[in-house]
Amino acid sequence: MYFRFLFKNKSGLQMIYVAILDEHPVVCDAIKALLHDADDITIRGCNTTFIELINKLAEEQTHVVLLVLYQPDENDIENIRLLNQRFPKAKILVLSMFKHERFIFKMIKAGAKGHVSRDTTRSEILEAIYTLGNGYEFYAKTITNIILSSYLSDDDIDTSEKEIRQKNLSNREMEVFKLFAEGHSNREIAEQLFISVRTVETHKNNIMKKINIKTTVDLVKFAIKNNIIELD
């Protein structure tokens, strides 16, 4: 599996510990089975309640928390916020059954570091887990497109504003920046530029530091505002 060679994380972790929350035990077991062959991922447990998950995180070190949400509501947002506050080292990855713009933005604001939708694949879930395990954020291409559409409809966009800071980006960083903002996954960018996925993540991290932004959502907004990508 290419993930094992390309997603070695910056903190030197040899194993990524994952806790799963799903109210349906059979679904939880199915996800666990999907990840079974990844020998550098250990499932801490299939938790069916939020309280059970909290207890598990308090007892055992966990790097990624996979939350499966069917009809997300304000309680789920509050749970994400609580998890982020109590266990900041455990990165939250949400698998939701629908793509609701309002929920996605609230989820990100509450502290989730990744989101995949119901049409995700095993490969994408693995990529998301490794990406969060490496300390980065991951949003599926469909989610990035929702973010783009929402931002484009915002009347507050100042299209005349130009950020001089982008001139500090190297040619390779600009290539990675443009492809990511257009909605390409880390793996797709790596394949197009003939570099590793880990190198893509390093470039993204450097870009965010250089232009002083914190999230991938802001990265996309910056690309739109500064005409780094062309929009129809």
Q: What is the CATH number of the domain that holds 180?
A: 1.10.10.10
Q: What angle do CA 57, 60, 61 make, to 5 degrees?
A: 90
Residue 57 CB-density burial (10 A; 0-12 exposed, 13-18 middle, 19+ buried): buried
- Within this chain, do residues 112 and 176 fall inside the same structural domain, yes or no? no
- Within this chain, do residues 139 and 178 fall inside the same structural domain, yes or no? no
How far is it, in rounded angstroms, from Cα 111 to Cα 108? 5
* Domain of 196, in residue numbers: 161-225
- Within this chain, do residues 168 and 60 fall inside the same structural domain, yes or no? no
- Is the full-model pTM beyond 0.75? no
- Within this chain, do residues 140 and 177 fall inside the same structural domain, yes or no? no
- pLDDT at 159 (0 to 100): 40
98 occurs within a structural domain: yes
- Within this chain, do residues 115 and 196 fall inside the same structural domain, yes or no? no
Domain end point (choices 120, 149, 178): 149
Concatenated DSSP letters of 161-175: ---GGGGGS-HHHHH
- Within this chain, do residues 16 and 116 fall inside the same structural domain, yes or no? yes
Name the helix (H) or strand (E) containing 215.
Answer: none
The number of distinct structural domains making up the chain is: 2
- Within this chain, do residues 133 and 32 fall inside the same structural domain, yes or no? yes
- Within this chain, do residues 36 and 142 fall inside the same structural domain, yes or no? yes
- Within this chain, do residues 89 and 192 fall inside the same structural domain, yes or no? no
- Within this chain, do residues 67 and 171 fall inside the same structural domain, yes or no? no
Lookup: tokens for 213: 């932004």
154 occurs within a structural domain: no
- Within this chain, do residues 204 and 92 fall inside the same structural domain, yes or no? no
For residue range 150-175, what is the model confidence (pLDDT) as tens digits? 554 554 444 433 444 555 788 888 88
Across 5-19, average pLDDT: 63
For residue range 63-121, what is the model confidence (pLDDT) as tens digits? 999 999 988 788 999 999 999 999 999 999 999 876 667 787 788 888 898 888 888 88
48 occurs within a structural domain: yes
- Within this chain, do residues 126 and 210 fall inside the same structural domain, yes or no? no
